Amino acid sequence: MSETVRLEALRKTYGTGDNAVVALRGVTLDFPPGSFTAVMGPSGSGKSTLLQCAAGLDRPSGGRVVVAGTDLAGLDETALTLLRRDRIGFVFQSFNLLPSLTAAQNVALPLRLAGVRPDRAVVAAALEQVGLAGRARHRPGELSGGQQQRVAIARALVTRPAVLFADEPTGALDTVTSRDLLRTLRGLVDAGGLATIVMVTHDPVVAAYAHRVVFLADGRVAGALADPTADAVAGRMVALAVAA
């Protein structure tokens, strides 16, 4: 397989007739194994819709989404739920941890929901990957915001997904904690601990931690930037805003 995620001529329209809103207009993109891609664009450019369709959280109006070799269009809701559970990881701005559970118990939750007896070694390894080996018994209220987001990442990693989709994962964190978390994410991909990351962000500094930045405008791909710097990303965003 040459890519973990492939989008082919992806279209998404909300509503019908005069009330129709076109969010994606024929987007074709590849996200290969071992890559960390940031998706950016002005408000209303379609980046969140792209993430939701690519992750199987929303059905596109046209085109194809292929994740880990599976065409999502051929799946019913049950099969799609199983694919998301087994092959896709999610991290959002909100940590979504259960406050009554320890870090280890939160990480093990996807396995329990799948009817799998959690292997303590697997859970411990996921926490170690994100630098929380010594925090397994702590509950969310005993952890900082950055540590809670690391638990959320470990929870996403415990099923060994093919791809991790991240939607503004540092949005609730301070600057120093955000940079530390992003270094961890980049390190996971570079070291082979995670196959692929696709991250939506509005922050050029956050995007600069990725291998590549893809820009969207008006539901279309408006360019890409390899080995990005924060200044180069900010310059592209300004150009897109001026063009709009």
pLDDT at 244: 73
Q: Which of the 8 DSSP states describes residue 74?
A: G
HSE-up (13 A, CA, CB side) for residue 162: 21
Mean pLDDT across the chain? 93
pLDDT at 63: 97
**pLDDT tens readout for residues 169-218:** 998 899 999 999 999 999 989 988 667 999 999 999 999 999 999 999 99
Q: How confident is the model at residue 124 (pLDDT cuts 50, 70, 90)?
A: very high
Angle between the 145-157 and 120-129 helix axes, to the nearest 10 degrees? 130
**Burial zone of 89 (CB within 10 Å; 0-12 exposed, 13-18 middle, 19+ buried):** buried
For residues 85 and 75, give the distance between their C-alpha atoms in angstroms, rounded to a whole number: 14
Both tokens assigned to 121: 């070694």
Instruction: Tell me what the mean pLDDT of segment 19-24 comes to.
Output: 94
Domains and CATH numbers, the chain: 5-243 (3.40.50.300)
pLDDT at 2: 59
pLDDT at 191: 86
How does strand 70-71 pair with strand 21-31?
Answer: unpaired
**pLDDT tens readout for residues 129-168:** 899 999 999 999 999 999 999 999 999 999 889 999 999 9
β partners of residue 88: 163
| pLDDT above 60 (res 1) | no
What's the pTM value of the predicted model, to 2 decimals? 0.92
* Residue 94 neighbours by CB distance under 10 Å: 13
Q: Which of the 8 DSSP states describes residue 135?
A: G
β partners of residue 194: none
Query: Measured in whole angstroms, how far is the alpha carbon of residue 13 from the centre of its chain?
Result: 22
| pLDDT above 90 (res 114) | no
Host H or E run for residue 206: helix 204-207
